[in-house]
Amino acid sequence: MLFEWIRTIIVLPGTVLVFLPALLLYFTDYRWTFSSWPLFIAGIIFMLVGLGLAGWTMWLFAKKGLGTAAPWAPPKKLVIEGPYRHVRNPMISSVLTLLIAESLLLNSWSVIGIFALFFAGNMVYFPLVEEKELEKRFGAAYLDYKRNVPRWIPRLTPLEKNP
């Protein structure tokens, strides 16, 4: 399972958070400049929140779902705990939060472009592909979850344990 998680992290968020920004910044002749302390501190806060959320969601998938976020080793059980009681895609939220952190820490508007493309791609992918697969795999339980928990904007109150 550890190997699957390492591979998942390298391939999925690693591509969006490390590989693509590095390529973009390299090919745009990026030179880092310090913006301001408030933006730098905001970047650190976004980074800590994003890393915390990513770690929490990955732990829930491994321990409760018995799988990973990757299509080649998906969870065997539907996870409706922690942040999943507020929003259906907290892993994507963590990556988006980390892209904002990168943009602030690197003082780069180019990284915001990756944020926009990543979010737009997921807005198409999730309803057309991912959710259809989850409906097949988890049936009525996922359909009920989907009716009660929003895809992107978190609920203020958590979903009850047995919706």
> Which residue segments constitute the domains of the chain, with CATH numbers given?
2-148 (1.20.120.1630)
- Alpha-carbon distances of 70 from 5, 26, 33, 126, rounded to whole Å: 8, 28, 36, 14
Q: Among residues of the chain, what percentage have pLDDT more than 70?
A: 98
Given a cut of 60, is residue 163 above it in pLDDT? no
What is the Cα–Cα distance from 90 to 79, expressed in whole angstroms? 11
Q: Is the pLDDT of residue 25 over 80?
A: yes
d(C-alpha 115, C-alpha 96), whole Å: 6
Distance of alpha carbon 131 from the chain centroid:
15
Residue that has been written with the tokens 């057309």 in this structure? 128
Q: Are 1 and 62 in contact (CB under 8 A)?
A: yes
Q: pLDDT class for 160, splitting at 50, 70, 90?
A: confident
Between 162 and 69, the more confident residue is: 69
Q: Report the pLDDT value the prediction gives residue 162, as an integer from 0 to 100.
A: 58
Mean pLDDT for 83-89 is 96
pLDDT: is 5 or 94 the higher one? 94
Note the pLDDT of residue 6.
81
pLDDT of 127 reads 95
Residues 52 and 83: their CA atoms lie apart, in Å, by 11
Q: Does residue 68 register a pLDDT over 80?
A: yes
The reply to whether the predicted model has a pTM over 0.85 is: yes
Distance CA 29, CA 51 (A): 28
Residue-level pLDDT at 14:
86
What is the spatial distance between Cα 81 and Cα 57, in angstroms, rounded to a whole number?
A: 9
Paired tokens of 37: 């302390």
For residue 159, give the DSSP letter. P
